[in-house]
Amino acid sequence: MFDTTTSLSKASYQAQGPETRIEPNAINAASSSLESARELANRVDDLVNRLCGAVPQAVGQAVEPKAGPILGGLRQDAERTAEMIRNAQGQLNRLEREVM
């Protein structure tokens, strides 16, 4: 019996070539790691705010552009995660100043 899905997926894989093929598992793993980092940053922010008191935040948030292709979306996730990590580091510095 002829299996069209196997034949089509093999053909599309061969047509793309190894240099242009994106490994979905790697993208998913990176995205999952970024999400975990954002969760940790939020937890640090919440903890420091409870211990030291909340710091006023800017009113309104920047509108995030819609995610484009997979790598563009991953880049946006990385940039947002990096900003949240910088904020969490600042919060930890503030906690250290308050406690020490």
| Residue 64 pLDDT | 58
Q: Is the pLDDT of residue 97 over 70?
A: yes
| Residue 65 pLDDT | 57
Half-sphere exposure of 15 (CA within 13 A, CB side): 6
Q: Is residue 7 part of a domain?
A: no
Show the domain range for 88: 22-99
Strand intervals (E) in 3-67: none
Q: Is the pLDDT of residue 52 over 60?
A: yes
Cα–Cα distance measured from residue 31 to residue 37, given in angstroms and rounded to the nearest whole number: 10
Overall number of domains in the chain:
1
Query: Which comes out higher in pLDDT, residue 72 or 57?
Result: 72
Cα–Cα distance measured from residue 72 to residue 69, given in angstroms and rounded to the nearest whole number: 5
- Structure confidence by residue, pLDDT tens digits, 1-13: 444 444 444 443 4
| Residue 26 pLDDT | 86
